[in-house]
């Protein structure tokens, strides 16, 4: 009789990398499914770490090391950061936020400040996109612009890049010509820093190093963007714990935005404002 494994495409056969991730991720409160696509970024760092530790016996030796050095789990946790983002990621979501959510909010708030939070802001693409849509909304209108944006990430390296606001030209390819000329200037500098965000956008954002596993900001927000982090990578139990902590940080009638491929666990206090765009309102 033919062996079943012949019938399975090679790419689907679990290899030692996958088996290791399937063993380690749930132990840190992560879902393996979330890492299916970006796993190579994470695996590369894990291999480098094993090399750094002088572990030549591969994953079996690394597992033993983790079991005898519990502090190494924290290090491994950090290696699991998926640091991929884009300006106007899922553009239709941003158009909905600008033309409906933020538009109405600015009208209602009048002079009162609108507080926004980008959780896991990566290299800054998300908070800068927030600043761009608010600028697009208010630049040619008499609407008051009173927006403050908090952008947090636990990864000091990406946060520093976000603060600097300098990007290679490839990072701008989703932007229109008009957006590039309005929001960036050319640096004439190094290859990977061709364009820099204009100062008037930077001024709207405070960047903060923060690991949401340990602490959340004290402020109350009108819109929280938590995209492609908690609801992709965390186990459902951790998602629910996080949402409990988030609840007092969402003002009444505030909005939570999650990633376009993410789902919220069932809750009694958030209602879909747009299921398509993954925008939820607190009631
Ligand atoms: C895939 S990126 C998402 C970026 C952006 N929100 C987006 O949707 O394009 C995930 C970001 O979350 C950050 N991150 C991961 N775990 C975190 C944690 N526990 N606390 C804060 N930031 C975290 C990573 O460093 C990374 O920059």
Query: How much of the chain exceeds pLDDT 90, in percent?
Result: 82
What lies within 8 Å, CB to CB, of 268 at 6+ separation is none
Q: What's the N-to-C CA distance of the chain in angstroms?
A: 61
Q: Taking all residues of the chain, what is their mean pLDDT, rounded to a whole number?
A: 92
Q: Is residue 2 very low, low, confident or very high in pLDDT (cuts 50, 70, 90)?
A: very low
114-119 and 147-153 as β-strands: parallel, antiparallel, unpaired?
parallel
Measured by CA distance, the residue closest to atom 7 of ligand 1 is 85
Three-state DSSP class for residue 195: strand
C-beta of 80 in contact with ligand 1 (< 6 A): no
C-beta of 77 in contact with ligand 1 (< 6 A): no
C-beta of 127 in contact with ligand 1 (< 6 A): no
C-beta of 85 in contact with ligand 1 (< 6 A): yes
What does the pLDDT look like over 117-165, one tens digit per residue?
999 999 999 999 999 999 999 887 766 578 999 999 999 999 999 999 9
Q: Which of 95, 93, 73 is nearest to 24 (CA)?
A: 73
pTM of the model: 0.92
Cα Rg of the chain (Å, integer):
21
Question: What b/e string do you get for 141-173 counting C-beta neighbours within 10 Å, with b at 16 or more?
Answer: eebeeebebbbbbbbeebbebbeebbbeeebbe
Domain 91-165+200-282 has CATH 3.40.50.1110: no
């Amino acid at each position: 009789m033919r062996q079943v494994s012949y019938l399975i495409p090679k790419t689907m056969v679990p290899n030692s990398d996958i088996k290791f991730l399937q063993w380690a991720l749930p132990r840190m409160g992560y879902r393996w499914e979330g890492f299916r696509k970006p796993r190579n970024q994470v695996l590369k760092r894990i291999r480098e770490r094993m090399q750094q530790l002088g572990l030549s016996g591969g994953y079996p030796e690394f597992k033993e090391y983790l079991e005898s050095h519990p502090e190494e789990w924290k290090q491994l946790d950090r290696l699991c950061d998926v640091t991929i983002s884009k300006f106007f990621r899922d553009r239709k979501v941003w158009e909905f936020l600008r033309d409906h959510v933020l538009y109405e909010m600015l009208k209602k708030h009048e002079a009162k400040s609108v507080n926004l939070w980008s959780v896991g802001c990566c290299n800054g693409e998300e908070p800068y996109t927030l600043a761009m849509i608010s600028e697009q909304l208010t630049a040619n209108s008499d609407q008051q612009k009173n927006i403050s944006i908090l952008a947090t990430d636990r990864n000091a390296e990406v946060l520093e890049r976000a603060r600097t606001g300098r990007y290679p030209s490839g990072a701008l390819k989703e932007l229109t010509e008009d957006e590039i000329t309005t929001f960036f200037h050319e640096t004439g500098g190094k290859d990977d820093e061709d364009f820099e965000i204009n100062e008037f956008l930077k001024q709207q954002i405070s960047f903060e190093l923060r690991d949401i596993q340990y602490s959340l900001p004290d402020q109350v927000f009108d819109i929280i963007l938590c995209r492609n982090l908690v609801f992709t990578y965390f186990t459902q139990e951790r998602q629910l714990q996080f949402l409990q902590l988030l609840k007092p940080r969402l003002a009444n009638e505030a909005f939570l935005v999650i990633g376009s491929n993410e789902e919220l666990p069932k809750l009694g206090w958030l209602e879909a404002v747009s299921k398509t765009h993954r925008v939820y309102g607190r009631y």
